[in-house]
Structure 1
């Protein structure tokens, strides 16, 4: 059974926040300093506030809802994508994929592709990805994104990111 993909609302803040933090823990376990990862994923209340504020502001996020109706709140959302207008000064595309994650149990199921299709479709877009995240870069390349040579220091996890663009 496939997860339902729908726009996220304020009522989804807690489940979305749990998904966000758990996705970071699962995706970045071998990519980010373990102490930094533990520190950055420890405050679920702050992440819930950020999710609620984003929804209240009308930020565009879609969530993938766990098809198991008995799933606890921390497993109710199994993936999400957020998009917005390009934030870079040189704005290589009108849309930026601000975040896209799925829980590890859903890797390889096509859920990430479904999220990308719902939120972005085939339109030009840009995104930032951890420079050492080969799995994510492979996924984005399959979606038509290419590295454009731009790098940046990402302060939240203290890593380097690269920009990828689809024209």
Structure 2
């Protein structure tokens, strides 16, 4: 059982490089068996472009939430936004666009805290890899259910599918 105290706050521009490094580490932990090493190397090679993209997003008003441990290391991130047109049929008002934490923080409640920070109790939609049972179980625990929508991914994610999960707004 971890005794680490995590702090959750909105990210600032200076947090972006470390957040992207954490996200890639979380991808390695989660997707190592589903993606070849070249996938992770390509993502690493795109780091500067991603920093620029995320910096512009924050400047435009996007909210990115990060979690830091006792030493100030970023160990998780989450982001939500208004639902996109293609998911409007779900009735949701928000989309959870990302939620990543390092394996060392699994089971600590950090994921739930980041979920709450990013989308609160709003009705929401998210897309998750079809073969990520741990993530799907986490989302079910927090009121999301599969709705039958399934989408094949392309580019470097080719050969994988995402499934859509939806939850009604929560009370309390």
Q: Is the shorter-chain TM-score for this pair beyond 0.5, marking a shared fold?
A: yes
Residue 157, structure 1, aligned to residue 154, structure 2: no
Q: In the TM superposition, what is the alpha-carbon distance from 1:108 to its structure 2 partner?
A: 1.4
Per the alignment, do residues 31 and 105 of structure 1 end up closer, same or farther by CA in structure 2, a change over 3 Å counting?
A: same
The count of aligned residue pairs is: 161
Please give the residue correspondences for 1:74-93 in structure 2 after superposition, counting only pairs within 5 Å.
76-91=73-88, 92=90, 93=92
Moved more, 95-104 or 8-17: 8-17
Structure with greater helix percent: 2
Report Cα offsets for 1:122-141 as digits up to 9, x if no partner. Answer: 22100000000011001000
Report Cα offsets for 1:84-126 as digits up to 9, x if no partner. Answer: 0112424121100000000111111111011112222222100
The runs of 5 or more residues in structure 2 that have no matched partner are none
Residue 4, structure 1, aligned to residue 7, structure 2: yes
Residue 125, structure 1, aligned to residue 124, structure 2: yes
Q: TM-score, normalised by structure 1?
A: 0.88
Moved more, 139-148 or 23-32: 23-32
The runs of 5 or more residues in structure 1 that have no matched partner are 70-75
Does the Cα contact within 8 Å between 1:16 and 1:48 map onto a contact in 2? Answer: no
* Equivalent residue number for residue 39 of structure 1: 42
Equivalent residue of 2:64, what SS? strand
Q: TM-score, normalised by structure 2?
A: 0.86
Q: Aligned-residue CA RMSD in angstroms?
A: 1.6
Residue 19, structure 1, aligned to residue 19, structure 2: no
